[in-house]
Amino acid sequence: MSNQKQSGCCGPAPQAEPDANSTHQDLVRDAYAQVARANEEGVSSGTEAGCCGVSDDDAINTLISTRLGYSDSDLEQVPSGADMGLGCGNPKAIAALKPREVVVDLGAGGGFDCFLAAHEVGESGQVIGVDMTPEMLSKARANAEKGGYSNVTFRLGEIEYLPVADNTADVILSNCVINLSSDKPRVFREAYRILKPGGRLAISDVVASTPLPPELREDPGLIAGCMGNASLIEDLEEMIRDAGFAGVAIQPKDESREFIRDWAPGRGVDDYVVAATIEAVKPARA
């Protein structure tokens, strides 16, 4: 089994060489399908930084996740293999989840944040994980069965077209996934649609503190690695407000530049992007 070191999060995800017909979405889906397969096999993902959660070393996984804001107690609660290092923070820490709530996780990956949320909402609550990558979905479902999670389900779907009914969720979580979308305004409109009145967003993601130069913004590896497609903070605020949300708060975490530097060594991406928490509320009254 590999003992390959991984860096702190999404990082420069592996990607197939894009052809002329590849879309942004194809690029991202193919990259994370490779991550899921590599993680399942316990081998390196093939990236220069060796990141994206493809280590079978529990000590490395623990170091990465605690660096992102998870506690040892969090890590002990989830099935082995659920923590793939594919985040840039801990959205549960800002979600203030309560028993009986319904939670939807956008881009559930191996199910890590879903399983943590399941403990918070209890058996009377429900957690729905959505992911567009079949390989990730299979992994998440296997992890749920392994952990005996009766209050967690996973659905195949795109975050721009969520397979969730209107006014379903009390809380939406997402960890370094919305930044991968080529249509973020639609993602936030969909989030608004499925939230109940008074429902809230609790998101960890990468944002741009200053505009990225074209050579970074358009780089396929950086796009799949949650960096190249980063939106300016003020642009994100406008998208979220335009979707109908109130109380929009985006809080950059300057200390995250240290692990972002590890995602793309020598590229200087950390001069332009930073991890942040993103919070907002769907008004209780229209």
Least confident of 162-171, 172-181, 256-265: 256-265
User: Residue 162: what pLDDT?
Assistant: 98
Instruction: Please provide the average confidence, as pLDDT, over all residues in the chain.
Output: 84
User: Using one digit for the tens of pLDDT, what is the confidence trace for 14-41?
Assistant: 444 444 445 777 667 776 767 766 666 5
Cβ atoms of 15 and 221 within 8 Å: the answer is yes
CA distance 159 to 224: 15
2: pLDDT strictly greater than 60: no
User: Residue 10: what pLDDT?
Assistant: 54
CA distance 188 to 15: 26
User: Residue 6: what pLDDT?
Assistant: 32
User: Residue 45: what pLDDT?
Assistant: 41
CA distance 178 to 146: 28
Cβ atoms of 192 and 257 within 8 Å: the answer is no
pTM of the model: 0.85
User: Residue 44: what pLDDT?
Assistant: 43
Question: H helices of the chain, where?
Answer: 24-41, 58-67, 72-77, 92-95, 112-121, 134-147, 184-194, 214-217, 220-224, 233-242, 257-263
Domains and CATH numbers, the chain: 71-76+86-281 (3.40.50.150)
Share of the chain above pLDDT 70, in %: 79
Cβ atoms of 30 and 16 within 8 Å: the answer is yes
The pLDDT of 100-104, averaged and rounded, is 98
User: pLDDT grade, residue 285 (50/70/90)?
Assistant: confident
49: pLDDT strictly greater than 60: no
